[in-house]
Amino acid sequence: MKFQMHGRVLLLSLLLTSGAAFAADGAPKTAPATAPAPQAQRPGHAGIASANFLATNAGFEVLAKGGNAFDAAVAVASTLSVVEPESSGIGGGFMATLHIAKTGENVFIDARETAPMAVNPKDYLNPDGTPNRDAALKGPLSAGIPGEPAGLVLLAKKFGKLPLSVSLAPAIRTARDGFKPDPRLLHSIAEEQKNLERWPASVAKYLPGGKPPVAGEIWRDPDQARTWELIAQQGDAGFYRGETAQKLVDAVRAAGGNWTLEDLANYRAKERTPITIDYQGYKIVTAPPPSSGGVAIAEILNILRGYDLAKMDPAHRAHYIIEAMRRAFRDHNDYLGDPDFVKMPLDMLLSPYYADGLRQSILADQATPSSMLPHGPAHDPGMHTTHFSIIDKDGNMVGITSTVNYILGSTFVAKGTGVLLNDEMDDFALVPNKPNVYGLLGSKANAPVGGKRMLSSMSPSLVVGKDRSAVIGSPGGSTIITQVLEGILHFIDGQSAQQIVADKRFHHQFLPDEVFVEDGVFDAATSEQLRKMGYTLKPREPWGFMNVVTWDHRDNKLDAASDPRRPSGLGKVE
Ligand code: DON
**Alpha-carbon span 499 to 490, nearest angstrom:** 8
385 is catalytic: yes
**Alpha-carbon span 531 to 515, nearest angstrom:** 10
Q: Answer whether 113 contacts ligand 1 (Cβ < 6 A).
A: no
Q: Are strands 515-518 and 547-552 parallel, antiparallel or unpaired?
A: unpaired
Ligand 1 pocket test target in 438, 446, 481 with most atoms within 8 Å of CB? 438
Q: What is the pLDDT of residue 32?
A: 37
Q: Answer whether 473 contacts ligand 1 (Cβ < 6 A).
A: no
Ligand 1 pocket test target in 88, 338, 385 with most atoms within 8 Å of CB? 385
Do the domain assignments include residue 437? yes
**pLDDT per residue as tens digits for the range 258-288:** 999 999 999 999 999 999 999 999 999 999 9
**Alpha-carbon span 349 to 332, nearest angstrom:** 10
Please provide the size of the chain in residues.
Answer: 574
| Cα 427 to ligand 1 centre (Å) | 8
- Whole domain around residue 150: which residue ranges? 1-462+483-574
Q: Answer whether 138 contacts ligand 1 (Cβ < 6 A).
A: no
Instruction: Give the number of the atom of ligand 1 that is nearest the alpha carbon of residue 383.
Output: 12
CA-nearest residue, atom 6 of ligand 1: 477
Q: Stretch 332-355: mean pLDDT, rounded?
A: 92
| Cα 402 to ligand 1 centre (Å) | 8
Q: b vs e for 34-43, b when ≥16 Cβ sit within 10 Å of the residue's Cβ?
A: ebbeebeeeb
Q: Stretch 472-479: mean pLDDT, rounded?
A: 96
Q: What is the pLDDT of residue 372?
A: 66
Whether 247 shows a pLDDT value over 90: the answer reads: yes
| Cα 545 to ligand 1 centre (Å) | 12
**pLDDT per residue as tens digits for the range 6-39:** 332 233 233 323 322 222 222 233 333 343 444 5
Do the domain assignments include residue 468? no
Q: What is the pLDDT of residue 20?
A: 24
Q: Answer whether 421 contacts ligand 1 (Cβ < 6 A).
A: no
Q: What is the pLDDT of residue 494?
A: 97
Q: Answer whether 436 contacts ligand 1 (Cβ < 6 A).
A: no
Q: Model pTM?
A: 0.90
**pLDDT per residue as tens digits for the range 123-180:** 999 999 999 999 999 999 999 999 999 999 999 999 999 999 999 999 999 999 999 9
**pLDDT per residue as tens digits for the range 382-425:** 468 999 999 999 999 999 999 999 999 999 999 999 999 999 99
Do the domain assignments include residue 21? yes
| Cα 261 to ligand 1 centre (Å) | 27
**Alpha-carbon span 36 to 546, nearest angstrom:** 24
**pLDDT per residue as tens digits for the range 422-437:** 999 999 999 888 888 8
Q: Answer whether 476 contacts ligand 1 (Cβ < 6 A).
A: yes
Instruction: Give the number of the atom of ligand 1 that is nearest the alpha carbon of residue 406.
Output: 10
Do the domain assignments include residue 539? yes
- CB count in 10 Å sphere of residue 22: 11
Counted domains in the chain:
1
Q: What is the pLDDT of residue 161?
A: 98
Q: Answer whether 456 contacts ligand 1 (Cβ < 6 A).
A: yes
| Cα 269 to ligand 1 centre (Å) | 18
Q: What is the pLDDT of residue 40?
A: 59
Residues 204/254, Cβ–Cβ less than 8 Å: no
Amino acid (1-letter code) at residue 489: L
Peptide bond into 38 cis (omega under 30): no
pLDDT band at 380 (very low <50, low <70, confident <90, very high): very low
Q: Percentage of the chain surpassing pLDDT 70?
A: 91
Q: What is the pLDDT of residue 41?
A: 77
Q: Answer whether 384 contacts ligand 1 (Cβ < 6 A).
A: yes
| Cα 306 to ligand 1 centre (Å) | 30
- CB count in 10 Å sphere of residue 527: 18
pLDDT band at 43 (very low <50, low <70, confident <90, very high): very high
- Exposed/middle/buried for residue 141 (C-beta within 10 Å: 0-12, 13-18, 19+): buried
Do the domain assignments include residue 475? no
Q: Stretch 316-332: mean pLDDT, rounded?
A: 94
Q: Stretch 106-113: mean pLDDT, rounded?
A: 98
Q: Are strands 515-518 and 537-540 parallel, antiparallel or unpaired?
A: parallel
Do the domain assignments include residue 472? no
Taking all residues of the chain, what is their mean pLDDT, rounded to a whole number? 90
Whether 334 shows a pLDDT value over 90: the answer reads: no
What is the crossing angle of helices 524-533 and 314-335, to 10°? Answer: 50
Do the domain assignments include residue 250? yes
Q: What is the pLDDT of residue 57?
A: 98
Do the domain assignments include residue 571? yes
Q: What is the pLDDT of residue 18?
A: 31
Among 30, 56, 368, 385, the one annotated catalytic: 385
